[in-house]
């Protein structure tokens, strides 16, 4: 990592506990800076990310992804936009803040600095839309959250409330096309929000109390 950030790798060396000579030896390299880095953040990963960002400022990052030992907690993910339905199962399973939903806008965003390459998002994705990209990115891009995928919201055909994405509704309609509960005109309930769908079911039951028994 030091090399990828443009520093002499000899700045960090491991020494044996019993090696008093190495322990007491004077530094051979001049300090990078006289200004100490204040790290009040309680999270270890956040503190380490700040150290890496500072080393990047003081060095000359190569701007590329470099290989790390197998299982190292550095890397990105690739999201297949054509496959992603913005179900956010990956966000629910991500143990760090690396993956986030878009709030009011249907979107999925990613911050590489927080990704520990655990692979839980890849395993949770029902669409197989996620691929892990292991390696340390020696660039400020790892500190920038970016949008992996976003879509227009699908608005309830009854009340206009946005309740899902266009692709999610299309997928559900396709999967439930032959379900008896949504047969005939009832299929339009899949284009309604939860509240309007329940109201529509009740209206049908009032008109035809035996309707549900026929399903």
Rounded to the nearest whole angstrom, what is the least distance from the CB of residue 103 to ligand SF4 in the complex? 14
Which helix (H) or strand (E) is 54 found in, with range?
Answer: helix 44-58
C-alpha dihedral sign at 192, 194, 199, 201: positive
Nearer to ligand SF4, 79 or 186 (CB): 79
Please report the beta strands in the chain, taking only residues with DSSP state E, as ranges in sequence order. Answer: 65-66, 75-79, 99-101, 107-110, 130-134, 136-137, 146-150, 153-155, 162-165
List residues near ligand SF4 by CB under 6 A.
77, 79, 84-90, 93-94, 96, 98-99, 108, 115-121, 124-125, 127, 129-130
Rounded to the nearest whole angstrom, what is the least distance from the CB of residue 74 to ligand SF4 in the complex? 10
Nearer to ligand SF4, 115 or 138 (CB): 115
Q: Which residues pair with 132 in a beta bridge?
A: 77
Nearer to ligand SF4, 60 or 128 (CB): 128
Nearer to ligand SF4, 6 or 102 (CB): 102
Rounded to the nearest whole angstrom, what is the least distance from the CB of residue 94 to ligand SF4 in the complex? 3
Sheet holding 99-101, edge to edge: 99-101, 107-110, 146-150
In contact, 139 and 1? CB cutoff 8 Å = no
Rounded to the nearest whole angstrom, what is the least distance from the CB of residue 203 to ligand SF4 in the complex? 33
Nearer to ligand SF4, 55 or 84 (CB): 84
Rounded to the nearest whole angstrom, what is the least distance from the CB of residue 169 to ligand SF4 in the complex? 14
């Amino acid at each position: 990592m030091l090399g990828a950030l443009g520093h002499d790798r000899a700045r960090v060396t491991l020494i044996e506990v019993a090696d008093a000579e190495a322990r007491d030896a004077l530094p051979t390299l001049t300090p990078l800076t006289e200004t100490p880095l204040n790290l009040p953040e309680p999270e270890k990963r956040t503190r380490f990310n700040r150290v890496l960002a500072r080393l990047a400022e003081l060095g000359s990052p190569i701007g590329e992804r470099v290989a790390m030992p197998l299982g190292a907690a550095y890397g990105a993910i690739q999201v297949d936009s054509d496959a992603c339905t913005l179900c956010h199962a990956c966000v629910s399973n991500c143990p760090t803040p690396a993956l986030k939903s878009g709030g009011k806008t249907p979107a999925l965003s990613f911050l590489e600095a927080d990704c520990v390459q655990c692979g839980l998002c890849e395993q949770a994705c029902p669409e197989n839309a996620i691929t892990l990209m292991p390696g340390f990115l020696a660039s400020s891009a790892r500190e920038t959250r970016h949008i992996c995928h976003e879509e227009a919201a699908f608005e309830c055909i009854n009340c206009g409330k946005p309740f899902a994405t266009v692709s999610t509704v299309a997928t559900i309609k396709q999967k439930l096309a032959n379900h008896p509960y949504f047969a005939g005109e009832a299929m339009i309930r899949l284009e309604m929000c939860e509240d309007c769908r329940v109201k529509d079911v009740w209206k049908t039951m009032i008109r035809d109390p035996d309707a549900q028994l026929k399903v």
